[in-house]
Amino acid sequence: MLLLVLVSIVFLDQITKYAAVKYLKGNNPYIIIKDFFQLHYVENFGAAFGILQNKKAFFIIVSFVVIIAILVLIFKGNYNFNSLMELSLIIFLGGAIGNLIDRIRLGYVIDFISFKFGKGYNFPVFNIADVSIVISTLLIMTMVLMDRYEM
């Protein structure tokens, strides 16, 4: 089951990025809800919010370390994680792998989901892998803070 979740996240991430390249790259943003939600192709050479631009090797190394750490935690750790913690770690892993594929293959991460809040604030553009990482991080933090991650 967990392997299916992992493969599904990576596949969904990569197929949506493929569609972003095919349909959005070189075009104006595709507006879904005016002044709120659009699909907009962006090549992100940094991390979240555009920090650490052009640090490809750094991000690849960090991604590998995180991926290995998660695999060790799940399969070799002395923890008796509950099913929600295992699922959260797998979702995080799927997001990390999705963005790592881009960094190795392209040298940047493809982002395309864009939210605006009126005419004032543009939230940073993101992708499915980013969503997976953020949601799983919130779940993991909540379980750790509430001490609810073990069976």
Active site residues: 111, 130
Nearest to 122 by CA among 5, 8, 2, 40: 40
| CA neighbor of 16 nearest in space, from 129, 92, 132 | 129
Q: How far apart are CA 74 and CA 137, in angstroms?
A: 15
Are the C-beta atoms of 96 and 90 separated by less than 8 Å? Answer: no
